Amino acid sequence: MNPLQVTKYDQIDMNPEGKFYTGTSGLVLPVANKLAFPPAYKDKSRLSYYASMFNSLEVNSSFYKIPMATTTRRWTTEVPDGFKFTFKLFRGITHNKALVFEEALVEKFMHVVDQVGDKKGALLVQFPASIHFDSFSQLEHLLTIIREYDPKKTWQLSIEFRHVSWYRTETYKLLERYYAAMVIHDMPKSIPPQVSSRLDFAYMRFHGPAGDYKGGYTDEVLQEYADRINAWLKEGKTVYVYFNNTIGDALKNLIKLNGSIVK
């Protein structure tokens, strides 16, 4: 498959230095409970402790249930300046047969996540393997609705496909039109091809070497990804990376990768 040569964003003014946001998929801590928190965080929330170590979180709970606006507003008070929240779009929107969804749910979701204000990161839209390319028109409809509620593109929209039928020129052109990145992930049955992109951001997710949310990555594999990320950062791209092998070595792998990123 030939990479799509994207030209629409050739004139984007890249940041002189790219920004790197990284964390886990869902809030993962290195200790079993609050009793083992460092003294400075004994009276703080789990999120506050997490945010003392990492600068971003991929919120998975929003996939299962749309949180309350008061909740997302409170979260912003528990993290430092510069922290970014990435939200996973509610499954009631993305996981229905033929990608049929209620527009009102999209509006509700966008209102809730917008409460994090300047701590907005990426918006992850993940489709299951049952959603194929024949739902293309519904994908376009969904992207249209999302951008209607985010006309200034304050969310860095990122799409994760789990079926290989999506990997074609029509899809790449559609994503380009809506300023959306294709998530780079490693689920064995649907690993995306390397496609050229002029977007000023990239999004990577790690699901474990076997794609079962278990295990860990070797130092050599992590260094290969670090080299790729460092190249993007040098270009001025913002890069989001999240480890979803939370049954395995997510924290260990995250810390190792972070140590290989050129600051």
Domain boundary assignment for the chain? 19-260
Tell me phi and psi for residue 205, to 5 degrees.
Answer: -130, 135
Q: In CATH, which of 3.20.20.410, 3.40.50.720, 2.120.10.10, 3.30.390.10 is domain 19-260?
A: 3.20.20.410
pLDDT mean over 107-116:
98
Per-residue pLDDT, averaged over 18-30, amounts to: 96
pLDDT at site 87: 98
Stretch 68-84: mean pLDDT: 98
Instruction: Read off the pLDDT of residues 44-72 as tens digits, 9 standing for 90 and up.
Output: 999 999 999 999 999 999 999 999 999 99
Confidence of residue 17 (pLDDT cuts 50, 70, 90): confident
**What local confidence, expressed as pLDDT, does residue 174 receive?**
97
Region at 171 (left for phi over 0; alpha for psi -120 to 50; beta for the rest): alpha
What pLDDT score was predicted for residue 227? 97
Mean pLDDT of 186-198: 94
Question: What is the model's pLDDT at position 2?
Answer: 27
Q: What is the pLDDT of residue 16?
A: 57
Q: What is the pLDDT, as a whole number, of residue 3?
A: 26
pLDDT by residue (tens digit) across 112-143?
999 999 999 999 999 999 999 999 999 999 99
Alpha-carbon distance of 73 to 68, in angstroms, equals: 9
Nearest-angstrom CA–CA distance, 19 and 17? 7
**Average pLDDT score over residue span 13-34:** 86
The pLDDT, as a whole number, for residue 196 is 86
pLDDT tier, 167 (very low <50, low <70, confident <90, very high otherwise): very high
Helix 136-148 / helix 103-113 crossing angle, nearest 10 deg:
40
Q: How does the average pLDDT of the chain come out, rounded?
A: 93
Tell me, what's the pLDDT at 15? 52
> Residue 249: pLDDT above 80?
yes
Q: Is the pLDDT of residue 263 over 80?
A: no
pLDDT at 6 over 80: no
Mean pLDDT score, 92-109 = 97
Q: What is the DSSP string of 142-200?
A: HHHHHHHS-TT--SEEEEE--SGGG-SHHHHHHHHHTT-EEPB---GGGPPP------S
Q: Which of 124, 107, 114 is nearest to 72 (CA)?
A: 114
Residues 155 and 119: beta-carbon distance below 8 Å: no
Mean pLDDT of 27-31: 95
CA distance 17 to 163: 34
